[in-house]
Amino acid sequence: MPEPSDRTVADAVARARGHSVGDLLHRTARRDPHKLAVVDGDLRVTYAEFDVAVNRAAHALAERGVAKGDRLALLSHNCWQFAVTAYATAKLGVLLVPINFMLNAEEIAYILEHSGASGILAEDSLADVAEHALASAGIEGGVRGSIPLSGGRPRDGWDDVDDWWRSGPEHAPDVAVTDDDPLRLMYTSGTESRPKGVMLSSRSLITQYMSCALDGEMRSSDVEVHSLPMYHCAQLDCFFSVDVYLGATSIILPGPDPATLLATIERERATKLFCPPTVWIGLLRHPDFASTDLSSLRTGYYGASPMPVEVLRELRERLPDVRLWNFYGQTEMSPLATILQPHEQLERAGSAGRAAINVETRLVDDDDRPVPPGEIGEIVHRSPHATLGYYRDEDKTAESFRNGWFHSGDLGIMTEDGYLSVVDRKKDMIKSGGENVAGREVEEALYLLDGVAEAAVFGLNHPYWVEAVCAVVVPKEGAVLTEQDVHTHAKSALAGFKCPKYVVFADALPKNPSGKILKRELRRRHASLVETDPA
């Protein structure tokens, strides 16, 4: 019998030691095959059924020429097919490119072209915009899969994705995927420039899952509702994929409609829920909140922005059995970086907490020197959570990882014992009259004014102040507020230079599907304030 070559032995050892995202679902299915895995409308599947569906979809993609290292775009609201595609691509070593369904055709075309996507899977109601994007990007041929959420048949040239997971080979595809092979290409929101493609590997993602599970006290017995967009790694990787790893049950909703969320929690006896503060506020304000049985809820999570202190107090009063965590991070950290624990919510209100178990965090100045406690600096991290880098952008990768730390672009203050408070994005710090004003601090002060439901604070270019502090306020239903009320309250709570020079009332704040307030949109809408009233 011939001796095995060194390469053969090394390959065999690597395969035996494999631990990629695609392996997680299979191992959960082996461990607990009959456990309810996913609920999507009338569809209810076990982990064994989930794993088989993923294997079938992976073979269908492979038959259509999609192979390890290729990029496959996915344009859809949350659905069962989204989950299947995420794990089918992971088993093939294909980079999934989830796309924000709010983008227009030209914005999608840029992502398709930049990523070099070999195809796209699109929800049937989004097929028109997908086709326009493909044409604009000059992409002909390749895989085109229609996700039939509206019940219609696919258009010519498009396959029905449901046919892929309903039949075909049930065994896993024979593809070796190492822990640092890229599996995701997540495009950032592009607030500074064109969107950047963030590359994430199994190592990035799985160590992040471990941090979420350990520090977030997640369990296999959880029943979680997923309503925030899964194209964003907060819902997909802090929550849904951790549930798959642990063997918890996931209830998928297409979006965070408050009435549907409340009814789903009651019907499915959900124990766990993630929402950004804006959605938690929406639940509290909904007329069905008081009459809905939410007694099954045990754990709640928020992120994307800090929770106003007054809202924290209201949540504690109205949901006394729910323990809350604050998760802070960004796409480049897969996305978790720091966590504020339940017992710290009011004691450390406004804080993003301390570094997660697999993360090291510190603050540095513009020369990358550590800053002392209590001083503002840029938040930087060392962690296996971190991205492999930016796709096709070596200069941006080098800039972000200079001196061996990932530079977040966020500004913060840290206490002696390591508690981080995020001050603002570097680009969002308001420079007014020679002073730095953190919009977050002004927002916290405005939330203390009775009658304020939501507030957003930002800077407007100004001929005298350089930037003038502007506040857009959404009053609570039935509340009567005036500009003078807001000015008087702000002056009682803040130094004069931090007080808003402009106050605008609105029925709602513009938000992206992840619940983040779109301050760039607010700046655009209200830029004329300076022209009409220089203040």
Mean pLDDT of the chain: 93
Q: Does residue 210 fall inside a structural domain?
A: no
Note whether 251 and 286 are within 8 A (CB): no
The answer to whether position 77 is within a domain reads yes
Which one, of 281, 321, 285, 330, lies nearest residue 303 by Cα?
A: 330
Domain membership flag for residue 312: no
Structure confidence at residue 306 as a pLDDT band (50, 70, 90):
confident
DSSP β-ladder status, 159-160 and 143-147: parallel
Q: Of 287, 293, 258, which is closest to residue 275 (Cα–Cα)?
A: 258
Digit-coded pLDDT (tens) for 171-188:
999 999 999 999 999 998
Q: Please, which residues have CB within 8 angstroms of residue 151's CB and are 6 or more apart in sequence?
A: none
- Distance between CA atoms of residues 511 and 516, nearest Å: 5
Q: What is the CATH number of the domain that holds 115?
A: 3.40.50.12780
Which residue has 């924290």 as its token pair? 312
The SS3 assignment for 457 reads strand
The whole-number pLDDT of residue 2 equals 56
User: What are 389's strand-pairing partners?
Assistant: 199
Residue 161 resides in a domain: yes
Cβ atoms within 10 Å of 113's Cβ, excluding its own = 15
Q: How confident is the model at residue 534 (pLDDT cuts 50, 70, 90)?
A: low
Least confident span in 55-69, 159-173, 420-434: 420-434
pLDDT interval class at 197 (50, 70, 90): very high
Question: pLDDT tens digits for 11-49?
Answer: 899 889 999 999 999 999 999 999 999 999 999 999 999
| Residue reference for tokens 């029925």 | 507
Q: Which of 172, 200, 228 is the last residue of a domain?
A: 200
Q: Is residue 463 part of a domain?
A: yes
On whether the CB atoms of residues 81 and 165 are closer than 8 A, the answer is yes
Task: Work out the pLDDT band at 221, boundaries 50, 70, 90.
Answer: very high
Report the C-alpha gap between 441 and 475 in whole angstroms.
Answer: 19
CB distance 217 to 250 below 8 Å:
no
With respect to residue 445, please indicate whether it lies within any of the assigned structural domains. Answer: yes
DSSP assigned state of 344: G
pLDDT in tens, 314-330: 999 999 999 999 999 99
CB atoms within 10 A of CB 19: 14
Q: Report the share of the chain in percent with pLDDT over 90.
A: 79
Q: Cα(162)–Cα(515) distance, rounded to whole angstroms?
A: 30
Nearest to 75 by CA among 96, 95, 57, 100: 100
Distance between CA atoms of residues 332 and 335, nearest Å: 6
% of the chain beyond a pLDDT of 70: 96
What pLDDT is stored for residue 191 in this prediction? 42
Tell me the average pLDDT across 283-305. Answer: 95
Residue 163 has pLDDT above 90, yes or no: yes
207 three-state secondary structure: helix
Which CATH number belongs to the domain containing residue 505 in this structure?
3.30.300.30
- DSSP summary character for residue 221: T
Mean predicted confidence (pLDDT) in 273-299: 95
Which tens digit of pLDDT belongs to each residue from 469-483?
999 999 999 999 999
Q: Are strands 377-382 and 430-432 parallel, antiparallel or unpaired?
A: unpaired
Strand bridging mode 299-302 / 272-274: parallel
Task: Write out the H or E segment, with its range, that includes residue 154.
Answer: none
Question: Beta-strand (E) ranges in 84-196?
Answer: 95-99, 119-123, 143-147, 159-160, 182-187
- CB count within 10 Å of CB 268 equals 16
**Res 427: pLDDT:** 63
Cα–Cα distance between 325 and 328 in angstroms, integer? 10
CA angle 305, 307, 308 (to 5 degrees): 120
Would you call 47 helix, strand, or coil by DSSP?
helix
Any domain includes 228: no
Are the CB atoms for 234 and 514 separated by under 8 Å?
A: yes
Cβ pair 382, 405 in contact under 8 A:
yes
Task: Give dist(CA 129, CA 132) in Å, integer.
Answer: 5
Q: Measured between alpha carbons, how far is 64 from 78 in angstroms, rounded to an integer?
A: 24
Q: What is the mean pLDDT of residues 441-453?
A: 91
- 290 contact partners, CB below 8 Å, separation of at least 6: none
Where residue 255 falls among pLDDT bands split at 50, 70, 90? very high
Q: What is the pLDDT of residues 82-121, one digit of tens each?
A: 999 999 999 999 999 999 998 889 889 999 999 999 999 9
Among candidate residues 113, 61, 65, 121, the one with its CA nearest the CA of residue 91: 61
- The confidence band for 152, taking pLDDT boundaries of 50, 70 and 90, is confident
Which one-letter DSSP state was computed for residue 3? P
Calpha distance 348→346 (Å, rounded): 5
Q: Is the dihedral of CA 383, 199, 130, 110 positive or negative?
A: positive
pLDDT at 533: 67
Does residue 352 surpass a pLDDT of 60? yes
Tokens 């790694």 locate to: 233
Cα dihedral value 534, 521, 255, 410, nearest 10: -100
Confidence of residue 192 (pLDDT cuts 50, 70, 90): very low
| pLDDT, position 66 | 98
- The pLDDT of 457-468, averaged and rounded, is 84
Domain count across the chain: 2
Q: Which domain holds residue 154?
A: 19-25+45-200
- Alpha-carbon Rg of the chain, whole angstroms? 24
What Å distances lie between residue 333 and 171, 190, 355, 377, 380, CA to CA? 32, 17, 12, 18, 11
Rounded average pLDDT over 489-516? 87
pTM: 0.83
Strand ordering across the sheet containing 71-75: 159-160, 143-147, 119-123, 71-75, 95-99, 182-187, 197-201, 389-390
- Among candidate residues 184, 200, 216, the one where a domain is terminated: 200
Cis peptide before 335 (omega within 30 of 0): yes
Report how many helices (DSSP H) and strands (DSSP E) the chain contains, helices first.
18, 26
Domain boundary among 149, 179, 200: 200
For residue 513, pLDDT over 70 is answered with: no
φ, ψ dihedrals at 295, nearest 5°: -65, -20
Domain-embedded: residue 54: yes
